[in-house]
Every structure is written in structure tokens, then in C-alpha cells.
Amino acid sequence: MNDRHSSPNPDEFNNRDDGTKKYGYQKVENQQKLQTPPQVLIVLITVMIVVSAAGYMLLRGEVAQKKNLELLKRIQSGLRFHLVKDQAMSAVQLEPVDAANEIVLMEAAAAKSRPASYYKLEKIPALSGEYVKEAGLAKDAIGANMIHIEFDSTGSTLFAELTANNVGNQLAMVYGNRVISAPVIQSRIIGGKAQISGNDIAIILDDIRNAEDQAASATVQAEAE
């Protein structure tokens, strides 16, 4: 007599179990295929950061280059070097003035906390900004603004001769009709490079800023029309 309740077939369970395992493995494998490996994400993020940084640096470089070009234009057209004949706290103290050969100019005095000085200068500039071939804005050791300039070959020769022949005398750097700086010449300067530092260089930077504002206003007005 056959038993109604037949004994379970172990092979049947084994086969079913193998199928379930196989199906589960395939499902996990498919999910893993859909997921982006961490290494790929890291590479993508790194590339995005590098591209963003490169774009930012390129933009900063373009802005700095435009500012330096504008600075160079201002230096070439407005900077002059005059030998100083005398210095005082008021123009009256510098009288008499030989109008044919001398001029009296006031210090730019961007720092309003101190009184401005007056300089009696040789009227004819010893050197002008037309010989400057490069100009750039930088920071000194304490973070203050300074302008570095470089002369062309002719300007370098003239500047070396000027400083060699006037050691111990003051050389005024004049922008427009204001004295920016008037350092004492310590020695002959070769190489054609010089620096303009001090609070009074703000007059040059303000001039550039005003020119940029005027250009921006003109652009907006032209677009509006």
C-alpha cells in the first residue's frame, strides 16, 4: 500500500534552493551593475573641481591682465620723474620760484591724517612714463599696495644714468599734478626696474577705478539705446 504522504524529495528542494540562490545572486549582480563604482565618482568629482578651479584662475588672470593694461596706460601717460630741489610744509616756504625752470607741486596725501608736503621740482622731467613697458600691482611684505614698473631698453639706460648722477638727492615720482613719492636715491639703479609704494599710489588706483566706472556706464548706456 502506498503512503499518500510521500516523502519529500531532497533533490527537489536542492534544485529549488539552487534556483532561489541563483535568482538572488543575479538580482544583486544587476543592482551592482546599475550602481556607479566609488572610484568613478571620485574621479568625476576631482575632474569637476579641477575644471572649476581652472576656469576661476583663468577668469582671475583675464581680470588681472586687463587691470595691468589699464595701469600701464595710466603710467605711460601720467607718470613723470622730477629731481627735487626743495621740500616744505607750505608752498610759501618754497618761494621764490623760478617759473621758467621750477614748479611747486603738492604731495598727493591720500592719508588725510597727516598734512601734505610741498615740493619744489625741476620743471623739465628727468624721465617720463613713456619709457615704461610693463606695470603691475602687487603687495609688499605687510600687505600694502605697490606698483612695480619696468622700463624699456632706452628707459633703463636713462634711469641708470639719472640715479648714478644724483645719488643722495630726492627723485619725485609725479602723477598728474601730484607727487606720489619722493625717495632719496641711494645708488645707481640698473636693470630698468622700480617700485612705487606708499599710501599716495591710491591716486593712480582711483584714476583707474574711475576710468573703469566710466567705461561700464558708457557700455550700459549704449546697450540701453
User: What are the sequence ranges of the domains in the chain?
Assistant: 63-212
- Answer for the pair 88, 225: CB distance below 8 angstroms, yes or no: no
- Residue 5, phi then psi, degrees to nearest 5: -90, 90
Between CA 130 and CA 151 the distance in angstroms is: 9
> Residue 26, SS3?
helix
What confidence score (pLDDT) does residue 112 get? 60
Cα 13–14–18 angle (5° rounding)? Answer: 115
pLDDT for 217: 55
Nearest C-alpha neighbor of 98 from the set 123, 125, 126: 123
Upper half-sphere CA count for residue 111 (Cβ side, 13 Å): 10
pLDDT for 63: 45
Whole-number pLDDT of residue 8? 54
In tens, the pLDDT along 167-207 reads: 999 999 999 889 998 999 999 999 999 998 877 788 888 88
Would you say the pTM of this structure is higher than 0.75? no
213 DSSP assignment: H
The whole-number pLDDT of residue 7 equals: 55
Angle at 8 between CA 6 and CA 13, to 5 degrees: 155
For residue 3, the SS3 value is coil
Distance between CA atoms of residues 82 and 106, nearest Å? 13
The class (CATH top level) of 63-212 is: alpha beta
Predicted local distance difference test score (pLDDT) of residue 60: 47
H or E, element range at 64 = helix 38-78
The DSSP 8-state label assigned to residue 193 in this structure reads: E
Residue with cell 545572486: 25
Which of 202, 208, 175 is CA-nearest to residue 109?
Answer: 202
**Cβ proximity of 74 and 204 under 8 Å:** yes
Tell me what pLDDT residue 59 has. Answer: 42
pLDDT at position 176 is: 86
- pLDDT tens series, the chain, 225 aa: 555 555 555 555 455 555 555 555 555 455 555 555 667 667 777 767 766 655 545 444 444 556 678 889 989 999 999 999 999 999 999 999 999 999 999 988 655 667 788 999 999 999 999 999 999 888 888 888 889 999 999 999 999 999 999 999 999 999 988 999 899 999 999 999 999 887 778 888 888 777 555 555 544 455 555
